[in-house]
C-alpha cells in the first residue's frame, strides 16, 4: 500500500505526531509512505531524518504578534498564487491513500484528482460535537475548506462518543523529576515578554525553548535553548511542570507524564481556546491569559497534576489503514480507548459532565 502523508508544519505538534506514525510505518513491509510538509520555511525544519526524502511546500499558515493571531498579516502574507500552483503540480496518481494532518496542499490535490483521503488530526475532532470556545463563522469555514478530506478521524483527550481516537505518546515517565525545574515553551510570545514574566521568580529554575533562540544562553535562573527534539523531551521528562501555549500535542505529552500544566492559549485561535476549556472542565490545567508573574508564582505552589496514560501503539491505526475498511471507525476507536487510563478525579469529572 502506497500512502501520501501530508503534515501541517506551522507548529511542532503535527510533526511530533507524524514522527510516531512514521516510526510505526517504517517497521512494516506492507506500507510505503511519502511525507509532505507545509507551513514553514524549508530551512526551519530540524531533526527530520525519520521522514526520509520528504518534500516541503509553502502552503498556508497563520502569523502571530506577541501571543495573538495577526489576521491582517496572515491575509497579506498568504501566498495564494503559489499555493494554487503547488496544488495543480502535485501528482498524487501513484498513491492509494492520503493521510492528512491539516495540510492543505495535499488535501486539495487529492480532492481534485480523486484520491481517497483520511484526516487524522486534532482539528478533525472539531468537526464533531466536542467542547469548543471562541469559534467564529470564519473558523468553521476554515475547518471545512482548509484541508478537506473524505473521512475525518479526530484526535482528542476524550472520545465524546464521536469518531475520535486518543493521542499517541511514546515518552515514558521517569521515577524522579527535578523539583526546581520548569519547562517553558511559548513560541508565539516575545522573548523579552517571557523574560520579564519569569525574572522576578528567582528561586525557580526555568528552561525555555524558543524558535528565535539560535544558541544556548543562561540569564541567572532562566536558561534559553534553541529548538531540539532530544533536549526538549529530556527536559519534559525531568521537569516538575510545563508552561506552554494551548497546543494539543505538548499538553498531551505533559498529561501522559503527570506534569502540572500552566497554559496560555494563543488569542484568536479557537482551537487553543477550546483545548483550555476542555482541560479546565477536567481539572487538568491552570490558565494564563496574560504573561503575569503573580499567576505563575501561584501555580508553582499548586499541587501536582493528575495525568492520563495514553497508548503508544500506533500500529493499530496502521492495521486499520491497510485493511481498507475506512468507513468503519468504531472498532478502531474502541480498541484504542480501551488502552487509555484516567485518574480517579478525571473519571469523576467526566461522569459529572455527562460525557
Mean pLDDT of 19-26: 94
- Please report the pLDDT score of residue 306 as a whole number: 87
Place of cell 502569523: 63
- Find, among 45, 74, 56, the residue nearest to 6 by Cα: 56
Q: Is 151 helix (H, G, I), strand (E, B) or coil?
A: strand
Note whether 323 and 302 are same-domain residues. no
What's residue 266's pLDDT?
Answer: 86
192 and 149 inside one domain = no
Residue 176 or residue 208, greater confidence:
208
Cβ partners under 8 Å of residue 321, min gap 6: 1, 3, 31, 97, 99, 118
Q: Is residue 109 part of a domain?
A: yes
Given a cut of 70, whether residue 178 has pLDDT beyond it is no
Domain assignment present for residue 302? The answer is yes
pLDDT at site 79: 77
As a whole number of angstroms, the distance between CA 305 and CA 42 comes to 37
The CATH number of the domain holding residue 162 is: 3.40.50
Cα separation, 275 vs 87, whole angstroms: 31
Q: Do 87 and 193 sit in the same domain of this protein?
A: no
Q: What is the predicted pLDDT for the residue at 243?
A: 98
Interatomic CA distance for residues 319 and 285, integer angstroms? 34
Residue 35 counted as domain residue: yes
Per-residue pLDDT tens for 255-288? 999 999 999 998 878 999 999 999 999 999 999 9
Q: Report if residue 331 sits inside a domain.
A: yes
- CA separation for the pair 342, 355 (Å, rounded): 14
What is the spatial distance between Cα 244 and Cα 250, in angstroms, rounded to a whole number? 8
Range of the domain at 41: 2-168+312-341
- Using the 3D structure, point to which of 284, 308, 332 is the last residue of a domain: 308
For position 103, what pLDDT does the model report? 96
Greatest Cα pair distance, the chain, in angstroms, is: 59
Amino acid at each position: 500500500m502506497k500512502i501520501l502523508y501530508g503534515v501541517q508544519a506551522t507548529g511542532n505538534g503535527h510533526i511530533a505526531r507524524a514522527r510516531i506514525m512514521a516510526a510505526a510505518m517504517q517497521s512494516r513491509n506492507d506500507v510505503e509512505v511519502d511525507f509532505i510538509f507545509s507551513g514553514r520555511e524549508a530551512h526551519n525544519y530540524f531533526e527530520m531524518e525519520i521522514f526520509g526524502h520528504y518534500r516541503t511546500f509553502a502552503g498556508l499558515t497563520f502569523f502571530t504578534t506577541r501571543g495573538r493571531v495577526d489576521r491582517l498579516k496572515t491575509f497579506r502574507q498568504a501566498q495564494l498564487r503559489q499555493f494554487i500552483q503547488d496544488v495543480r503540480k502535485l501528482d498524487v496518481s501513484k498513491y492509494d491513500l492520503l493521510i492528512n494532518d491539516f495540510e492543505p496542499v495535499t488535501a486539495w490535490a487529492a480532492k481534485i484528482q480523486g484520491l481517497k483521503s483520511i484526516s487524522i488530526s486534532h482539528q478533525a475532532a472539531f468537526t464533531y460535537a466536542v467542547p469548543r470556545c471562541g469559534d467564529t463563522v470564519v473558523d468553521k469555514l476554515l475547518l471545512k475548506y482548509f484541508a478537506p478530506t473524505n473521512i475525518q478521524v479526530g484526535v482528542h483527550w476524550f472520545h465524546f462518543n464521536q469518531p475520535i481516537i486518543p493521542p499517541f505518546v511514546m515518552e515514558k515517565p521517569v521515577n524522579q523529576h527535578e523539583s526546581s525545574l520548569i519547562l517553558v515553551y511559548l513560541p508565539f510570545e516575545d522573548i523579552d515578554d517571557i523574560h520579564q514574566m519569569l525574572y522576578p521568580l528567582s528561586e525557580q529554575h526555568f528552561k525555555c525553548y524558543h524558535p528565535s533562540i539560535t544558541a544556548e544562553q543562561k540569564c541567572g535562573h532562566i536558561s534559553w535553548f534553541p529548538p531540539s527534539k532530544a533536549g526538549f523531551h529530556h527536559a519534559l521528562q525531568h521537569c516538575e511542570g510545563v508552561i506552554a501555549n494551548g497546543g494539543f500535542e505538548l499538553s498531551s505529552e505533559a498529561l501522559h507524564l503527570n506534569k502540572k500544566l500552566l497554559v496560555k492559549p494563543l488569542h484568536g485561535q479557537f482551537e487553543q481556546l477550546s483545548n483550555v476549556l476542555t482541560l479546565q472542565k477536567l481539572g487538568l490545567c491552570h490558565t494564563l491569559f496574560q504573561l503575569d508573574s503573580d499567576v505563575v508564582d501561584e501555580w508553582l505552589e499548586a499541587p501536582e497534576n493528575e495525568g492520563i496514560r495514553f497508548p503508544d501503539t500506533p500500529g493499530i491505526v496502521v492495521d486499520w489503514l491497510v485493511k481498507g475498511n475506512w468507513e468503519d471507525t468504531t472498532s478502531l476507536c474502541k480498541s484504542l480507548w480501551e488502552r487509555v487510563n484516567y485518574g480517579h478525579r478525571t473519571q469523576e469529572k467526566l461522569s459529572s459532565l455527562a460525557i
